[in-house]
Each structure stands twice: as C-alpha cells, then as structure tokens.
Structure 1
Amino acid sequence: MRLLPLLLLAFLLSACSAEVPGDATPAPVFTAGTPVELRVVTPGGGTTLLDKQGTSYEVGPVALVLDRFTKVGASFRPEVTGWVVDVALPSDLAEKFGKLTEEQVGKQVAIVADGVVQSAPEIQQPITGGEIQITGKFTKDDAEALAAALGGN
C-alpha cells in the first residue's frame, strides 16, 4: 500500500519536469515613452546640449534613435562599479547599435532624451547582441533616473 503513493509522486514529478518543445519566447518589446537619441560627442563643433547638472556637450547629429526596448532597469553590481543601467534592444536596433559602437570605440556617445543629455559614456568596445550595460559613478537614484529616462521602471 505504501508503494502506491510513491508511484503517484514519481509520476507527478516526471510530468512536471517534461521539456516543452519549441523555441524560447522572445522578450516583449515596449516602446520608449520618449525616444532616446544617441549623438557622438564632438568637442569643438556641433550642437551644444546640457545635462541636468548644467555640463555642456558638443554633439554631432543624431546617430541612432532608440525607441523600443526589451529591458531597461537599474541594478547594483559591486563587481563593476556599483549601480549600473541594464538595457536590452530588439534585434533590429541591436544590429544598428552594434555597428555604431564598432565605429565609435574610444569616443563618448551622448544619450539624449527630451533634449537633455542623460549620460555620455565612452564606448569601451563594440557592443553587439543588444545587451548594454551603462556604467559610471552612479548612485542608486542616478541609475534609477537614467533607467526611467530610457523608458524603464
């Protein structure tokens, strides 16, 4: 009689662990509340834009508009620099972003929303695949504000 509950439990566990055929569900794409412009910082020429602290940046024309994301959020990563902003792009924008970063390694790219420079990180290396991590000396509030400006929560 004790064997029946064990067999039933084994059957239930095997049913719960069966693989589901098919591809993984792609991440949902959401539209940015405000499209984000990427502009290469070009000291000595271009358009002057300010950040929230009043620092001015000379920037070139819009290089890419990010208007859709699959992920935007702030997270604490002590192994990097502390607070970072994680961004993921849909495949079409990821490809364009990858090309932009390949062409701009070593240069600053201003992230502009509503005409205000939200951040101006230096491109350290080409960023392909659409997974972006914006690092800096962010406080929690800074990282969350940048994520919100990019359309995250």
Structure 2
Amino acid sequence: MPKLIILAGLLLALTACGTESAPTPPPRTTQAGSGPVDVKVAVEMRPVLAVDPPAQTPAPAAPDVLTGEDGSTYRLGPSIGDFKRFENVATEQTDSGWVLTIELPEDTAAIFAKWTGEHVGEQLAIVVDGEVVSAPKIMSAITGGTLQIAGRFTQKEIRELGRAITGK
C-alpha cells in the first residue's frame, strides 16, 4: 500500500459562538471517531529544518535526517514530544476536502499549544517508527488541543494517514 506524504496545513478547529446567525454551511461527511487511542508506536513531532527533493541516491543515515514517503529528505530539529495517546482521531469531509482531526490529551495539548504558537508558518514532521508520515505547515497556533491535517487528500489517503499515525 503506497504511503503518502503531502504537505498539509494544520488548522485549529474553531467553534464559533455568537448571537448573529451564520449561513448554513454545506453538508459535511464525518467518519466515526475512534475515541481514545493508545498508539502502537509513539508519534514523534519534530520541526522541519530543511527539505531536499527526492534524490537519485539514498540520503546518509543520521538520526536527524529522514526520508519521507515521497523520497524527499527531511532534516529535523529536536523532538517537541512523543505523543502516545490521542483522545480521538476522525476523518471528515469539509467544503475544502478531506481532513484528519486529532484531539490531544490535556498534557500534550499544552506542549503542542506552546510550540505551535512559537512556530506558525513552519513545517512540523510527524514521525512514526523513524519515518516521516506527514510534514504539514503550521497555519496558526493550536491552543484548543484539536488539530486538523488538511490538504488535497482523497478519502482513502486521509484514512491511510490516520492509520499511519495511530498504527490502527
């Protein structure tokens, strides 16, 4: 099964509360959420320092140099944390396309909020078992504990990304 690496946007899931009524959005398709997930292999979040396009020869093996699923070489900074549990993981089709929504536990949500607030506009590699499974760009600080990985994903691709991250 081909793996996927697509630069995607991490978006903060916002819920608006107010007195004005908003237009009714188009219908959304949501796949059932997972509920709490203890991942099989810890998910490591690492800042991307540089990305080199796929090369003819393999990149030298080094702890901070990993090859992505598309053959690109990622030079990574130190880990911001290992994420071993998620409160919920679900796929959803929005008017912009398919997204993967991940709810973080309170302790890791605080780490993630601080780091993303300091690194808006930068890429963050999601590393599972020594492999870069996605390297989205941080679009805004993620302070509410819920992140979305969005891009030009098909339903199949977003499900595969969810499985790669959770190991399920």
Q: Give the TM-score category using the shorter length.
A: 0.7 to 0.9
SS for the counterpart of 1:132 is: strand
Q: Give the structure-1-normalised TM-score.
A: 0.74
The aligned runs of 1:3-152 (5 Å cut-off) are 29-43=36-50, 47-78=64-95, 81-151=96-166
Q: Distance in 1 between matches of 2:78 and 2:144?
A: 24
SS state of the match for residue 138, structure 1? coil
TM-score w.r.t. structure 2 length?
0.68
Deviation at 1:30, TM superposition (A): 2.8
User: The residue matched to 2:84 in structure 1 has which SS?
Assistant: strand
Is this contact kept in 1: 2:43–2:126, CA < 8 A? yes
Per the TM alignment, residue 152 of structure 1 is displaced from its structure 2 partner at its CA by 7.0
What displacement does 1:130 show?
A: 0.7
**Would you tell me which structure has more helix in proportion to its own residues?**
1
Contact 2:39/2:84, CA 8 A, preserved across alignment: yes
**Larger RCO: 1 or 2 (CA < 8 Å, sep 6+):** 2
CA distance in 1, matches of 2:107, 2:139: 22
**Distance (whole Å) between structure 1 residues aligned to residue 156 and residue 79 of structure 2:** 27
Counterpart in the other structure of 2:4: none
* 1:29–1:90 CA contact under 8 A, matched in 2: no
Cα distance in 2 for partners of 1:50, 1:73 equals 27
Q: Which runs of 5+ in 1 are unaligned?
A: 1-26
Whether the aligned pair in 2 keeps the contact of 1:72 and 1:150 (CA below 8 Å) is no
- Deviation per CA, 1:6-56: give whole Å up to 9, x if none: xxxxxxxxxxxxxxxxxxxxx963311111111100128x82211212121
> Deviations for 1:121-140, whole angstroms, at most 9, x for unmatched residues?
11111001211111112122
Tell me the percent identity: 39
Structure 1 stretches of 4+ moved >6 Å: none
Contact kept, 8 Å, 2:42 with 2:83, in 1: the verdict is yes
Matched residue count: 124
For the residue of structure 2 that corresponds to 1:117, the secondary structure is strand
